[in-house]
């Protein structure tokens, strides 16, 4: 059963003005719970915007409206800075002939899918580059005062990381995250990103984002795989709102939803909210096959995760013999977390040998 506060949140975000109070008794609403719920889903700015847009602010306490209005205004001001810095970053990359595509919240904002830029809360500026440009991009960013918060050890990588270390610039407000892949290694076999290769073949230009159908797929696969929604039926109202704003009804049909188990699972998970008018019913046979497929996928992920960890740990141990900086860090860790001098001396001699 949907909590009353969440039902009100859904009504405000996705229903018409005359449906905001459908099935709701405001006398039973705990406004503190509503704030916590919306905040947990990073939806306070969108909540305020939709209350204002639908002209229903009179339904809420004044201090409640004032609070979420302040959050909205702060977020909008931050997003204005983010857009400005994204354009500056893009100009820098174009100047150095680096092909790139903005991703995630930045891409959605740049694609103008929101009525107001203050609606969406965004963390970093995410963009993806080609593998061959990785070292050049590192040098360009470092030359332009971007640096990582830590100094990663230059070691051999078994798997391509999803993104390079998060970078900040003391003269900028928003951190950046250069991606090499869309998802983590164990998820890549399920997400087809080949269609974006054509985007990288096009001429270099500023403010380039993936096409809306790809943004839609990336939103769903991120929540279903990276955030484990496929395994535990978690959902995020921020992701739901992104997909709602992408207007998926124009590009989706019941038929192609049923073909993709991850997209189908996403819509089944949020079906009780009745946000999208897409009833997905399935026969006993298809329901059984979906459950079997889900079981096999979960087992495969478990195997791949364990396999990946074993491979990476073994490579780190091998590299301890050849990488002096890695050995130094290992010794520092031991010195901090274990104070037995005999063991420390033994490990030190072993690593140095």
What is the pLDDT, as a whole number, of residue 247?
A: 80
Instruction: Count CB-CB contacts under 10 A for residue 104.
Output: 22
Closest CA to 115 of 54, 165, 27: 54
Domain boundaries, the chain: 4-273, 284-352
The model's pLDDT over 194-211, given as tens digits with 9 standing for 90+, comes to 666 666 666 676 778 888
| Angle, alpha carbons 204-165-45 (nearest 5°) | 80
The model's pLDDT over 236-259, given as tens digits with 9 standing for 90+, comes to 999 999 999 988 666 555 455 556
pLDDT at 321 > cutoff 70:
no
Query: What does pLDDT average to over the chain?
Result: 81
Kind plus residue range of the DSSP H or E element containing 102:
strand 100-102
The model's pLDDT over 106-127, given as tens digits with 9 standing for 90+, comes to 999 999 999 999 999 999 999 9
Instruction: Count CB-CB contacts under 10 A for residue 297.
Output: 16
Strand partners, 126: 177
What is the pLDDT, as a whole number, of residue 211?
A: 83
pLDDT at 46 > cutoff 60:
yes
Query: Which of 110-114, 317-321, 334-338 has the highest mean predicted lDDT (pLDDT)?
Result: 110-114
Separation between Cα atoms, residue 134 and residue 295, nearest integer Å = 37
The model's pLDDT over 299-318, given as tens digits with 9 standing for 90+, comes to 776 766 776 677 666 666 66
What is the pLDDT, as a whole number, of residue 130?
A: 87
Give the burial string for 318-329 (b: 16+ CB within 10 Å, else e): eebeebeebbee
Q: Give the pair of three-digit tokens for residue 62.
A: 């004044």
Half-sphere exposure of 97 (CA within 13 A, CB side): 2
What is the pLDDT, as a whole number, of residue 174?
A: 93
Separation between Cα atoms, residue 63 and residue 208, nearest integer Å = 41
Confidence of residue 148 (pLDDT cuts 50, 70, 90): confident
Kind plus residue range of the DSSP H or E element containing 101:
strand 100-102
What is the pLDDT, as a whole number, of residue 250?
A: 60
């Amino acid at each position: 059963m949907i909590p009353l506060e969440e039902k009100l949140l859904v009504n405000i975000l996705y229903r018409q003005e005359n449906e905001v109070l459908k099935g709701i008794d405001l006398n039973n609403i705990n406004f503190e719970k509503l704030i916590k719920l919306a905040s947990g889903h990073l939806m306070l700015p969108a909540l305020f915007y939709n209350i204002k847009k639908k002209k229903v602010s009179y339904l809420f306490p004044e201090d409640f409206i004032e609070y979420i209005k302040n959050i909205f205004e702060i977020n909008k001001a931050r997003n204005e800075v983010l857009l400005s810095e994204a354009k500056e970053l893009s100009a820098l990359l174009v100047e150095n002939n680096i092909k790139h595509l903005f991703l995630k919240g930045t891409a959605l904002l740049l694609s103008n899918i929101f009525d107001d830029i203050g609606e969406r809360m965004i963390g970093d500026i995410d963009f993806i580059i080609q593998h061959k440009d990785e070292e050049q991009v590192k040098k360009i960013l470092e030359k332009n005062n971007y640096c990582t918060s830590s100094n990663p050890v230059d070691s051999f990588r078994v798997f391509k990381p999803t993104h390079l270390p998060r970078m900040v610039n003391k003269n900028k407000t928003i951190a950046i995250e250069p991606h090499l892949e869309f998802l983590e290694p164990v998820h890549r076999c399920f997400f087809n990103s080949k269609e974006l290769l054509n985007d990288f073949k096009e001429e270099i230009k500023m403010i380039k984002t993936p096409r809306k159908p790809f943004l839609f797929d990336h939103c769903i696969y991120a929540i279903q795989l990276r955030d484990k929604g496929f395994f535990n039926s978690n959902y995020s109202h921020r992701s739901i709102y992104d997909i709602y704003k992408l207007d998926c009804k124009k590009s989706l049909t019941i038929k192609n939803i049923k073909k993709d188990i991850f997209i189908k699972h996403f819509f089944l998970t949020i079906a009780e909210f009745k946000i999208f008018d897409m009833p997905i019913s399935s026969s006993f046979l298809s329901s059984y096959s979906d459950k079997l497929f889900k079981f096999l996928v979960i087992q495969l992920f478990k195997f791949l995760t364990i396999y990946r960890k074993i491979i990476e740990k073994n490579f780190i141990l091998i590299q301890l013999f050849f990488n002096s900086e890695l050995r130094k860090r290992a010794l520092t860790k031991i010195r901090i977390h274990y104070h037995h001098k005999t063991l420390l001396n033994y490990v030190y001699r072993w690593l140095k040998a």
